[in-house]
Structure 1
């Protein structure tokens, strides 16, 4: 992971904590944001000590503004909407597949058989 990513994750952690402490976002919203940050962080190979240094550096910066906290909250809400839309899409696909299977099972089938000497060959449509 490059230094910019370490700084970004460090800033997200610190801002989430500070925004909660300053009552700009609720504890539940902060917990959801931390879970999202953790999930995103797991996609990378990272060094815990380097990440901690990034967090320590970020803690020396000024408090985040209300607008910064609001943008964290907006990002979390967008993430939740994206997950909900993905779940709806998956449910829709599953529903369509289930309907198609039921339709195929219940569809009228026609069978044609032909005799070739002693052998009979049948095809079902």
Structure 2
């Protein structure tokens, strides 16, 4: 995995809002992002979701009610998130979370379009 880009802001706070199912991340440049657990789960950086090469991504379905059950710091550059569906192999680096924050709306719309094209559902089977 590539090292942390020294220009990337770093989080000053990560806060899991269990009731709303949102992970809030505040960065040292003042930007703050709210990530629904479902968003972080369907965009997990794990090989299980992303595949090992571009084009091998696996569309995640039925993740609407998934929650984060545990946040594990990984060094000074990432966190590992444990999800209620048992998934826990993605490492969310600060670079990745910042990028996700900046592009969240576009990524979410893309996910919904791919889900619709595949006749998938956000609801659990």
Question: Which one has the bigger helix percentage?
Answer: 1
Larger Rg: 1
TM over 0.5: same fold? no
- Relative to the length of structure 1, the TM-score reads 0.31
Relative contact order (alpha carbons < 8 A, sep ≥ 6): 1 or 2 greater?
1
- Relative to the length of structure 2, the TM-score reads 0.31
Question: Which one has the bigger strand percentage?
Answer: 2
